């Protein structure tokens, strides 16, 4: 069972906005990417847009027999 890949795209931000997101991410112990995703989910929730819960990536070494041999 594989985790769905995330959609990648370029995002241009004002340097001051990026710096503010970086500070917020550091305070929450997140990457800038994870912080942006969190902020977008919060903003959409405030607008009443319902989303499925985010898919958590598996962490650590796969169990024996669970590996995808490519």
DSSP 8-64: P------HHHHHHHHHHHHHTT--HHHHHHHHHHHHHHHTT---PPPPPPP-SSPPT
Which domain does 28 fall in, by range? 15-46
User: Is the confidence at residue 51, as pLDDT, over 70?
Assistant: yes
Residue 28 forms part of a structural domain: yes
Residue 42 forms part of a structural domain: yes
Residue 34 forms part of a structural domain: yes
Residue 31 forms part of a structural domain: yes
Residue with the larger pLDDT of the pair 64 and 39: 39
Residue 67 forms part of a structural domain: no
Average per-residue pLDDT for the chain? 86
Query: What's the pLDDT tens digit per position in 11-34?
Result: 999 999 999 999 999 999 999 999
Domains: count for the chain: 1
Residue 33 forms part of a structural domain: yes
- pLDDT on residue 2: 60
- pLDDT on residue 69: 54
């Amino acid at each position: 069972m594989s985790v769905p890949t995330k959609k990648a795209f370029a995002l241009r931000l004002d340097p001051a906005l990026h710096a503010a997101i970086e500070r917020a991410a550091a305070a929450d112990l997140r990457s800038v990417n994870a912080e942006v995703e969190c902020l977008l989910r919060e903003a959409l929730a405030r607008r009443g847009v319902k989303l499925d819960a985010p898919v958590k990536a598996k962490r650590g070494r796969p169990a024996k027999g669970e590996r995808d041999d490519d």
